[in-house]
Amino acid sequence: MRSTKWMLLLLAVVVAAVLYMVFHGAGRNRRVVNVVGSTSIQPFAEILAEEFNSQGAIDVEVQGGGSTQGVTSALNGTADIGTCSRNLKDQEREEGLTPVTIAYDGLAVVVNPANGLDNLTRQQVRDIFTGTVTDWGQVGGQPGPIRVITREEGSGTREAFTGMIMGDHRISRKAITQPSNGTVKELVRHDPNAIGYMSLGIVEASPDLKALKIDGVVASVDNVTQKTYKLVRPFLFLVKGTPADDAQKFIDYVLGPSGQAKLRQEGLIPAAP
């Protein structure tokens, strides 16, 4: 009897060891592709990575940090793919980066749904963010102090907003600076007097935010596609030189029918026809 118990115990230990080696060994054999950068692209890249990872022996790991981090990580090789939510600068191209457009995104100017305003001109948005206009009553809304929410320096979203709205004008130093789309969203959704800007793809999935019309044009995927809504930016993957095979496989998946359909489903404008 005692011998039988020892045999069963030994068998259980052997089975446990084999299972450990199978599952953990398989995990070690999976290859990793690091994707780093834009917090605007991050949630979409995570959705794409989850589906891609289920199809083979490659694990795509996605991190944020901002577009500047995406550029730096692609340049110094700490990321296989950088991500950037603005056009590349000439110097960045000269340093060897190649941009791959994976989608286009409308840039939405957002307020709390309790805000009665539905439309602002581009000039009014600029005046609000420079601090020239400080009360909603000055632009046709209910009187009340405007609380401006902006992104941090180095953010691709901020650079896109600056290029399309601000021009040579600086965002007010009194603006509340936030490090991600998520934190901008949280401040605006809890403050009826707040105004911010972020990816249209994120806004369309958030009923607790309201995207304002700009110059009378609704911020929508259809209007971005038809080029009637003008606040549009590219979503870029960045590689330096020739990407490694595994990184190229993920890029090919994203640009392929399945990846592009997924991005369209999530509120972006596909890059591929």
**158-182 residue pLDDT tens:** 999 999 999 999 999 999 999 998 8
Query: In the CATH hierarchy, which top-level class contains the domain 106-232?
Result: alpha beta
Domain borders along the chain are 30-105+234-270, 106-232
Confidence (pLDDT) at 29: 67
- Closest among 58, 23, 103 to 270, alpha carbons compared: 103
Taking only the tens place, the pLDDT of each residue in 8-47 is: 555 554 545 444 444 444 445 679 999 999 999 999 999 9
**pTM strictly above 0.85:** no
Domain 30-105+234-270 homologous superfamily, CATH: Periplasmic binding protein-like II (3.40.190.10)
Rounded Cα gap, residues 109 and 151, in angstroms: 12
- E strands along the chain, which residues? 31-37, 58-65, 81-84, 97-111, 119-120, 147-151, 176-178, 194-199, 210-211, 213-214, 232-240, 269-270
Rounded Cα gap, residues 273 and 270, in angstroms: 7
Secondary structure (DSSP) of 165-194: IITTPPPPTTSEEESSHHHHHHHHHT-TTE
Q: What is the sign of the dihedral through the CA atoms of 203, 205, 210 and 213?
A: positive
User: 30-105+234-270 and 106-232: same fold?
Assistant: yes
